[in-house]
Amino acid sequence: MIYAFGVVDLTQDNPLTVQGRTDGHASSAKAELMGLLATVLSAPSEQDIVVKLDNQSVVDQYSRLVKNRRDTLPRKRFRSTYAGIWAVLCQVVESRPGGVEVVWIKGHSNIHGNELADQAAKVAAQSGSVPWMVDLTQQTDITTFAHCYGGIVEIDLRQLLKQQSTIRHHQAWTSQRRVKRAIPDIDDVEWNSTLAYVHDRHAVFTFYSNSKDSHQRTHHIKKLHGMLPALNSMQARKPNLYPTCVCRRCELENEDNDHVWKCPSAAETTTEIWKEAMGKINEWGVQATNSYNAARKREYKRAVDRGRQVPRPVPIHWWPPSDADHVRGFSSIGGARAVHSGSPAPDRDEKPMWNVSDLLRGITPLSMLTEWSAVFRTPMSIAKTVLHKFVGYLEAQASELIWKPRCSATIAWEQSQGISAKDKTSKYTGPRGDWSQGYGYITHDGFCPCGASLATHDEGRCPGATKDPRAADERLLESLLGRMRLSMMERMGRIPFIRI
């Protein structure tokens, strides 16, 4: 991706215009920084100049990395993004007799000079001119620069290495067959909400922990990955204790992680949980709307206190959706309309990616969020909060009313068979069962353990992500060049859970 900049000097009789393109690490901040450097170089050296930028980040960094550079710690100077360009700019500013002041102005607010600069930048972006380059040897503060795949590293090197490791681990995780089976479309998961259920809204980068929290996290992680100790897994581990894996509730089908949530004996319970959750949507919607309006008021007040002229926010109203609206909102979830109406109904998609059982496990689909936002006629953040509470309620009730009764029925059967807790935890040295049937799911004829039909496989290879560090590094490079956006699970840093 190519970004461009434009510089306009209105103090001249004929406004001087400088424009150009940038390459490398793709960011609008780099274009603003290159425009700032071009401004200083094009102005007469003995003249005091005031540069007006509409990028607050660049203005703040100028104060720290140029104006007060001698007082800034080396760690901040060397590890800043575009550290080499900032060092060159500092040397240029210090060598000129005239002073340089950089101030912030609001972009796209009908400021004549800013509008002309934007027009010049658009022209430069569409041109075929050679991108501007900076000779980093024209500064003496930083002596060595790191390179990655032939290009200079323009961000903090430690951050780059951490992000590379994160992407590699993410790709190794997504390449596992059980992940492909349990999470068919990783890119269609709203991970802010989903991970909030997994970690019970406790940030993973803190040291908070206790026995109850650890037990709950373990249960949620196993449920998300299809690794709950269903009877098919127990049979694979200890076939001497479990000669059969028939479900102890319905006693009709073999039990795996998929059957646990789709068991015929749990159908009525699922319908009741769904109806209770649907009955709470208006309450959650009003709460989310009030919180949204209050947040907009606080933002408006802060802007006014800072002397900025911003339009007063218009309050959003919650309109209770009709039953037909609700049906449209979850029409992409397989089996949702049948559960909602209490009778079988065809799904919109012939082979839906998600099912009601996935919501019971705590997965929040992005596609459902998009549809609900249109149905509710509200901003996306309100729909996200309502959906977060909706799926959270389903997940919590399913654990209490479906999983725990299943465990009670299984334990009762084990006791009737003379299987004690000690027998289940003791070391087993005999022959193992068929582990192709023991990774949480039962593999049916004509299907791969990943859950996909063998007919969809290319030369027998499992589709989807593969464990390939070079492919992971390619994604990192493409993201640095602005050609693609990494998923939230690939981006390094703290994951912002939804907090209610």
Domains and CATH numbers, the chain: 3-152 (3.30.420.10), 176-464 (no CATH)
pLDDT of 343 over the 70 cut: no
pLDDT (mean) for 22-40: 85
Q: Is the pLDDT of residue 499 over 60?
A: no
Average pLDDT of the residues in 116-141: 86
Q: Is the predicted pLDDT of residue 257 greater than 60, yes or no?
A: yes
Residues 258-270: tens digit of each pLDDT = 999 999 999 999 9
* Average pLDDT, integer, range 400-428: 93
Find, among 36, 254, 263, the residue nearest to 132 by Cα.
36
Residues in contact with 293: Cβ distance below 8 Å, sequence separation at least 6, in sequence order: 313, 315, 316
pLDDT at res. 262: 92
Top-confidence range, 174-188, 189-203, 393-407, 471-485: 393-407
Say if residue 459's pLDDT is above 80.
no
d(CA 179, CA 190): 16
Q: Is the pLDDT assigned to residue 37 strictly greater than 60?
A: yes
pLDDT of the residue at 347: 59
Interval 474-500 mean pLDDT? 76
pLDDT band at 66 (very low <50, low <70, confident <90, very high): very high
- Cβ-contact 254, 231 below 8 angstroms: yes
Indicate whether this model's pTM tops 0.85.
no
Q: Are 82 and 33 in contact (CB under 8 A)?
A: yes
Handedness of CA 313, 314, 315, 320 (dihedral sign): negative
d(CA 174, CA 322): 38
Residue with more model confidence, 482 or 317: 317
Band (432; pLDDT cuts 50, 70, 90): confident
Q: Can you tell me which residue has the tokens 């009764």? A: 405
For the stretch 172-196, pLDDT in tens is 998 888 898 899 889 899 998 999 8
Q: pLDDT category, 291, cuts 50, 70, 90?
A: very high
Q: Rounded to whole angstroms, how far apart are CA atoms 125 and 94? A: 30
- Exposure class string for 117-126: b at 16+ Cβ within 10 A, else e: bbebbeebbe
**pLDDT higher than threshold 70 for residue 346:** no
Q: What is the arithmetic mean of pLDDT over 444-464?
A: 77
pLDDT at 396: 94
Provide the pLDDT confidence category of residue 418 given band limits of 50, 70 and 90. Answer: very high
3-state SS class at 52? strand
Strand pairing report for 147-148 and 100-104:
unpaired
> Which contacts qualify for 290-294: CB closer than 8 Å, 24 or more apart?
291/385, 292/316, 292/378, 292/379, 292/381, 292/382
Q: What is the pLDDT of residue 452?
A: 80
Which contacts of 14-20 are long-range, i.e. CB under 8 A and separated by 24 or more positions?
Answer: 15/116, 16/42, 17/116, 17/120, 18/42, 18/120, 19/120, 19/121, 19/123, 19/124, 20/124, 20/129, 20/131, 20/132
